[in-house]
Structure 1
Amino acid sequence: MAEAFASSSASNSKELDELNYKHEWSEEDLNLLLKEQMDKAQAATAEMEALRAELKNAQTEAEQQRATSEKSNTELSEERDARRKDQARILEVEQDLKGLYAERDVLQADKKNDAAELKRLELAHNEAQVQARSDREELRQVSEIAAGTFVDLPRSAADACQYFNEREDAAEQKAFWAQFQVSSHPPLLGDQMKQLMELHRVARPVMEDLCNALWPAEPLPSSYFGLIQRLRSASPRVQLWKRSACLEGARQAYASVKAYYPVVKPEEMAKGAPEGTKRVPEQYFNDVMPGARLSEAKCRKDTILEDLE
């Protein structure tokens, strides 16, 4: 702006000199012209000042815009950084949420598993309680049975020891039963079980022989319990054998008499001695014994007569 004003002033002075040189000017005209030039100069100066003010305003505005722009850029950069941080935080939170969801699922699965395990443990506990009650009841019954079973063991052991001491061919059995005779403490359950098992061992052959004798045509039971059940009916079976033996002997005797005296009636003879006589059957027992023994040898001893049971 200053250079333009200086250039304009120089140009005006040159023109004035040229006019003064070519023409003769009046003082009034010169004053007017000078005033006109001064007005122009003042206008130019005012215009220059206005331009300077505009320039300063423009520069101030530019500075403000630059500062605003820089501030905006800084704020934008900060906003971008904050946004990036927010996005990173969002991703981090999403990962945390995924982890929490996964942990929740695991906890829910563990809860279900724990519930199932708790239910299984409760069932196992109930079963254990039932089993414990059953075991206690079984122990109680065993104790009662043992109390009744073992009470006879000392007497049986003493009888067995005395029996085998009188035999020369039973050294092993003698040593077995002798170990339970002298004791300074109550008998142990293991020793009592040994004695009981030995009694059962020697009792089984006896029971089998008895079954074979009473039921010769039937197979032996395969268990100890079967032998016991079979022998429960031993008493009526013995009675049946006794009746069969009596009938078989009488049949042999009457048949022999009938062979010598066909007119004899066995039913009449079975009633006793004839009427009017003092003879009785008992007085001839010794006389008929040899013949009875011969008849006994002919009798069958492995079967029971029919129609007796």
Structure 2
Amino acid sequence: MSGVPYVAEGPVASQTGEFAELKRQLDAADANIVLVNRRLDEAQDGAAAVETLRAELARAKEQARRSDAAALKAVEELRAEQDAHCKSKEKIAKMAVELKDAADRYELLERESQTKTADLEKAMVAAKETRSKIRAAKEELRQAGNITAGKPFLLLTKFGHPKYALLDQLWSSADAYLDLAASAADATKFFEDQKDHEVEKLFWSQFNAPARPLLLNEQMAEWAELHRLSGLAMRCVVDRLWPEGPRPNSYFGLVQRFLGAVPHIDAVKRSACIEGAQMALAHVKTYWAEMEATTIATQNPDVGQVSVEHYFEEVLEGARLTEAQCSKSVMFE
């Protein structure tokens, strides 16, 4: 072989060399066999390892497949969870908007409820006041009906204590002007020949000699018109009796004014009489300049002379003319 030196000796040497060569080759072959066996063993071990690796690879692939599937599933779940989270966020945002709208509606409804509650309370108060006014109006109508019918009314029965006996007796006295039929007849007769009073004539004609008893509202209409006419008449009288004094602004003030009217009227009468006497004496003085007014007014006729009353008839016409010349509205006292 190429690696063995060749020795050219004799046949023994050559055999020995060949034997050595064969032995070497045999050893080399054995070494190669060992190496091959070792490599075969290694190859077998490698095959087993390969099989093991293959099995492990298969297991790894299966595990990887499972891991991939789990990962895909996890990804899908994550995506689903993300989608659900996004949907939840959108739902939460939507719910927040709806909650805000609901809160705004609640506040609006609360304000409306408070307003309606306040309006309801006002309406209830107004209803109570209206019911009270209705009851009062019904009671007034009932009392007016009792008054117009001549029955006992509230003011007659309110004071039952003995200390109110005089007041009850005063209000129990009959009214001299309570006869509505007489008032209607007098008013109809008065306005019958009056011009430019067609409305008053038509108004009072419906109450004069009615075919049926008058209803309460008709009687109240009569009382209202009589009240109005009485007020106008009393104002005219007040203006004539007290031309410079203040007018009363209430019926009580009018009553108080008329309670003091009698002394005032007496004073007016006296002033008119004084004014007439002064006018008469002045006329006599123009015809009889030597006349002493104080003597004529105070001296009594002598016994045997004709009394003053004897000349009343003769001076009556002149006295009336003198009366026409007097204003009767000026106080001379």
- Is the 1:273–1:279 Cα contact (8 Å) retained in structure 2? no
Alignment of 1:1-309 (within 5 A): 24=22, 32=30, 36=34, 37-130=36-129, 132-134=131-133, 136-137=135-136, 140-141=139-140, 144=143, 148=147, 151-160=178-187, 163=189, 173=201, 177=205, 180-184=208-212, 186-196=213-223, 199=226, 232=258, 235-259=262-286, 260=288, 262-266=290-294, 268-271=295-298, 273-274=300-301, 280-297=307-324, 299-301=325-327, 304-308=329-333
Judged with a 3 Å threshold, the aligned counterparts in structure 2 of structure 1 residues 181 and 44 are, in CA distance, closer, same or farther, namely same
Mapped to 2, the partners of 1:156 and 1:174 lie a distance apart of 15
- Is the 1:164–1:174 Cα contact (8 Å) retained in structure 2? no
1:210-254 C-alpha deviation (Å, 9 max, x unpaired): 567657x77xx9x998xx789847645533432222112211233
- Is the 1:153–1:195 Cα contact (8 Å) retained in structure 2? yes
In the TM superposition, what is the alpha-carbon distance from 1:124 to its structure 2 partner?
4.0
Q: TM-score normalized by structure 1?
A: 0.65
Percentage of pairs with the same residue:
23
Mapped to 2, the partners of 1:119 and 1:56 lie a distance apart of 88
In the TM superposition, what is the alpha-carbon distance from 1:71 to its structure 2 partner?
1.4
Q: TM-score normalized by structure 2?
A: 0.62
In the TM superposition, what is the alpha-carbon distance from 1:107 to its structure 2 partner?
0.4
Judged with a 3 Å threshold, the aligned counterparts in structure 2 of structure 1 residues 119 and 197 are, in CA distance, closer, same or farther, namely closer
1:58-92 C-alpha deviation (Å, 9 max, x unpaired): 23212212221221122122122122112212220
- Is the 1:157–1:180 Cα contact (8 Å) retained in structure 2? yes
In the TM superposition, what is the alpha-carbon distance from 1:286 to its structure 2 partner?
2.4
- Is the 1:272–1:280 Cα contact (8 Å) retained in structure 2? no
**SS of 2:47 mapped into structure 1:** helix
Mapped to 2, the partners of 1:285 and 1:85 lie a distance apart of 132
- Is the 1:204–1:224 Cα contact (8 Å) retained in structure 2? no
Aligned-partner residue type, residue 129 of structure 1: K
Question: Please, which moves more after superposition, 38-47 or 66-75?
Answer: 38-47
- Is the 1:241–1:304 Cα contact (8 Å) retained in structure 2? yes
In the TM superposition, what is the alpha-carbon distance from 1:48 to its structure 2 partner?
2.3
- Structure 1 unaligned spans of 5+: 1-22
Mapped to 2, the partners of 1:269 and 1:111 lie a distance apart of 100
- Structure 2 unaligned spans of 5+: 1-20, 150-177
The Cα RMSD (Å) is: 4.5
Aligned-partner residue type, residue 152 of structure 1: D
Mapped to 2, the partners of 1:28 and 1:263 lie a distance apart of 215
Counterpart position of 1:13: none
